[in-house]
Amino acid sequence: MLTAMQPTIVHVCRHGQVLNPDHVLYGRLPGYGLSELGKQMAERLADHFADVPLDALYVSPLQRAKETMAPIAARHPHLEVTEEPRVIEAGNTLEGRNFGRFNQRLLFPANAWHLRNPFLPSWGEPYREVAARMRAAIADMAASVPVGGQALVVSHQLPIYVARLDAEGRSYLHNPANRECRLASVTSFHFLDGRVVRVGYTEPAADLYPVGRRLFRPGM
């Protein structure tokens, strides 16, 4: 009797909460690791994947991603972690600036030039370029494991969400405050015959999320 082919899955995890007491838009800046809450979130991810038969582990070059990966990798000591530069945070011209706890200063008139074109976006790396590098990286990860196998990578909110929009054939234009890609969430890309057939989403650390305001802001 014929059985349905099992999909190959690439789980793309967002890192946990970052220690950022000065409320800097940190982007790709070095030295931003996880807060204590972020470390708890990373442990939740590790628990979530503890019994999943993973075949490969990948991680963004940034510290917060590597610290999120650490407890996951510890549960799968037979796997080496490969650094994957294509899943790094999106470039951002506003990087390194402090816009206040809720990014309220971002909406000051002086910043209007940076926000002039949300279609690109004008404040950073074009969405189409983010989508292209993420699409290629995720496809290569899927190809790196056996058919029906599973890979896991830790990345960042904007690249993950744009990759999902791309896979689902949706417009890249969106309000950053409305991204379905919360801290320590998992966006899973299911492949059959080399193409994405389904995208799943889950939040293993949902009960740990801090309550906060959501405002328009460039992705971090």
Domain membership of residue 2 (yes or no) is: no
Domain membership of residue 218 (yes or no) is: no
Of 205, 209, 211, 210, whose CA–CA distance to 43 is shortest? 205
Domain membership of residue 214 (yes or no) is: no
Domain membership of residue 3 (yes or no) is: no
Mean local confidence (pLDDT), 137-147: 98
Domain membership of residue 219 (yes or no) is: no
Q: Is the pLDDT of residue 111 over 80?
A: no
- Domain count within the chain: 1
Q: Is the pLDDT of residue 216 over 50?
A: no
Domain membership of residue 194 (yes or no) is: yes
Domain membership of residue 18 (yes or no) is: yes
Helical (H) or strand (E) element with 142: helix 127-143
Domain membership of residue 113 (yes or no) is: yes
pTM: 0.91
Helical (H) or strand (E) element with 14: strand 8-14
Mean local confidence (pLDDT), 58-80: 98
CA quadruple 179, 182, 185, 191: dihedral, nearest 10: 10
- pLDDT score recorded for residue 118: 73
User: Out of 114-118, 122-126, 132-136, which region has the weakest mean confidence (pLDDT)?
Assistant: 114-118
Amino acid sitting at position 147: V
Q: Is the pLDDT of residue 47 over 70?
A: yes
Beta strands in 110-185 (DSSP E): 150-155
Q: In this structure, what CATH number is given to the domain that contains residue 100? A: 3.40.50.1240
What span, in angstroms and rounded, lies between the C-alpha atoms of 119 and 218? 12
Q: How far separated are the first and last CA of the chain, in Å rounded?
A: 49
* Contact criterion met (CB below 8 Å) for 81 and 69: yes
Where is pLDDT greater, at 135 or 124? 135
Q: Is the pLDDT of residue 139 over 80?
A: yes
For the record, the structure tokens of 216 come out as: 């328009």
For the record, the structure tokens of 29 come out as: 């800046």
Which residue range is the domain that position 169 belongs to?
8-208
Mean local confidence (pLDDT), 172-177: 89
| Helix (H/G/I), strand (E/B), else coil: 216 | coil
Q: Is the pLDDT of residue 167 over 60?
A: yes
Q: Is it true that the peptide bond before 121 is cis, omega within 30 degrees of 0? A: yes
- pLDDT score recorded for residue 220: 41
